[in-house]
Amino acid sequence: MTEIEIPPELLPRDGRFGSGPSKVRPEALAELARVGDGLLGTSHRQSRVKDQVARLQDGLRTLFGAPPGYEVLLAVGGATAFWESLAFGVVEQRARHYRFGEFSGKFAAVTEKAPWLADPDVVDAEPGTRPPAGPAPGCDVQALTHNETSTGVAQAIERVDDALVLVDATSGAGGLPVDLTATDVYYFSLQKGFAADGGLTAAFVSPAAVARIEAVAASGRFIPTFLDLTTALDNSRKHQTYNTPAVATVLLAAFQVDWMLERFGDLAGVVAHQVEKSDLVYRWAEQRPWASPFVTDLDARSRVVATVDLDPSVDADEVNRVLRANGVLDTDGYRKLGRNQLRIAMFPAIEADDLASYTACVDHIAERIAT
């Protein structure tokens, strides 16, 4: 079989469309080389590195219009480690979870395993849909997921009872609208919407969440030092982390926040751009007889990760194989979903023009492989 060559004029300028990690902007990498020389390899306890941590914290506060009293916490280990911190340090007795894909399910599995907590109260929804949040009597935490990265579904972020609202915003933060007053811990790794590298979690923490963290720590519960959120709070207030952070991640995220503010003004400006880009992708899918958006509820359709089902006549694995051979990367559907599907990241760093080129590439391939 002869390989399909995509004409160069159809190709995107940047072929990175993976849902995790995000494309890192080449300009940010160049800036890292410029600014990082003299910073990487120096002590993270000294002011020059701490200034960059503070710059990231301030930038995030500005971008999100953080309400008074909310702190920006930084924790080492990414969202996966942060789930453990939340189970140790924020959930008092029982958590309500909404499970509608891989990542929301993973946090539920963490609180389920924790022997010091009651079994979680889990509300399930079919992949491609989202469960509405509802009151959860007996639960002291509501665990929401802003963007379920595995299915391309966005959850509404709202307060429905007195429980603390914890939001895994790892892929949604910076691309989806949010009113932080409706949240108590809005947390995200920095390698998705903020186009940095992995390993660090940022979180907006409300005064109520700080009080809970302190109360749980004072209750005598065993909390591993590495996962202790009182330690993370202490360090974050001094623009540090408990152990050595990836300084390159701090810098890349700080560049990305500054770039968002410069180019789009504020979070609403970024979101407006996300709406444009995602409309482009979903409209394309709707107009092809062999494609359709997987998520049918328009309000649930993500503005940062698009999932597009293909007709059996167009094999998604083959489309992705040809794309990859032509330098267009990582739009495989989530394996465990088992669908004939493309999953296309539209994170803030990814340009509208490149998404338009992506769709042209898929058209080009589909015309040639359709059976």
Using CB under 6 A as the binding rule, whether residue 20 contacts ligand PLP is answered as: yes
Residue type, 346: M
Write out the two tokens for 332: 């495989």
Of 173 and 366, nearer to ligand PLP (C-beta) is 173
Question: Can you say whether the dihedral through the CA atoms of 226, 227, 230, 233 is positive or negative?
Answer: positive
Q: CA 339, CA 294: separation in Å to the nearest integer?
A: 10
Residue nearest to ligand PLP (CB): 78
List the one residue from 52, 151, 189, 357 that touches ligand PLP (CB under 6 A).
Answer: 189
Residue 194 beta carbon to ligand PLP: minimum distance, rounded to whole angstroms: 11
302 touches ligand PLP (CB under 6 A): no
- Stretch of 58-66, 73-81, 156-164, 273-281 contacting ligand PLP, by CB under 6 A: 73-81
Is the Cβ of residue 253 or residue 366 nearer to ligand PLP in the bound state?
253
Regarding 235 and contact with ligand PLP (CB under 6 A), the answer is no
122 phi and psi, to 5 degrees? -105, 125
Q: Does 269 bind ligand PLP (CB under 6 A)?
A: no
Does residue 348 touch ligand PLP according to CB under 6 A? no
Both tokens of 112, joined, read 């389920």
Q: CA 63 to CA 43: how far, in whole Å?
A: 28
E runs forming strands in the chain: 71-76, 95-99, 121-124, 141-145, 147-148, 153-154, 164-168, 185-189, 200-205, 291-293, 305-310, 341-345
Candidate residues 78, 152, 193, 293; the one interacting with ligand PLP per rule CB under 6 A: 78
Nearest CB to ligand PLP, comparing residues 187 and 284? 187
Based on the shown chain and the rule CB under 6 A, indicate whether residue 168 belongs to the binding site for ligand PLP.
Answer: yes
User: Measured from the CB atom, is 35 or 182 closer to ligand PLP?
Assistant: 182
Q: How far is CA 226 from the centre of its chain?
A: 23
Smallest distance from ligand PLP to CB 202, Å: 11
Q: Which residues of 92-105 are buried (b: 16+ CB within 10 A; e: fewer)?
A: bebbbbbbbbbbbb
Interface stretch with ligand PLP, choices 37-45, 72-80, 239-247, 334-342 (CB under 6 A) = 72-80
Q: 17 near 330, Cβ under 8 Å?
A: yes
Stretch that binds ligand PLP, among 4-12, 163-171, 252-260, 288-296 (CB under 6 A): 163-171
- Contacts (CB under 6 A) with ligand PLP, residues 101-160: 103, 145, 149
Question: By three-state DSSP, how is residue 49 classified?
Answer: helix
Least distance between ligand PLP and beta carbon 133 (Å): 16
# chain residues binding ligand PLP, by CB under 6 A = 13
Helix pair angle (352-369, 316-325), 10° resolution: 120
Q: How far is the CB of 345 from ligand PLP (least distance, A)?
A: 10
CA angle 289, 294, 298 (to 5 degrees): 105
> Residue 145 CB, nearest distance to ligand PLP (Å)?
6
133 or 314: whose CB is closer to ligand PLP? 133
Q: If binding is defined by CB under 6 A, does position 52 make contact with ligand PLP? A: no
| Ranges assigned E (strand) in 304-361 | 305-310, 341-345
The residues, ordered by sequence, that sit 6+ positions from 171 with a Cβ below 8 Å of its Cβ are 19, 20, 146, 147, 149, 188, 192, 193, 304, 305, 347
> Does the footprint of ligand PLP cover residue 171 (CB under 6 A)?
yes
Q: Which residues bind ligand PLP (CB under 6 A)?
A: 20, 78-80, 103, 145, 149, 168, 170-171, 189, 192, 198
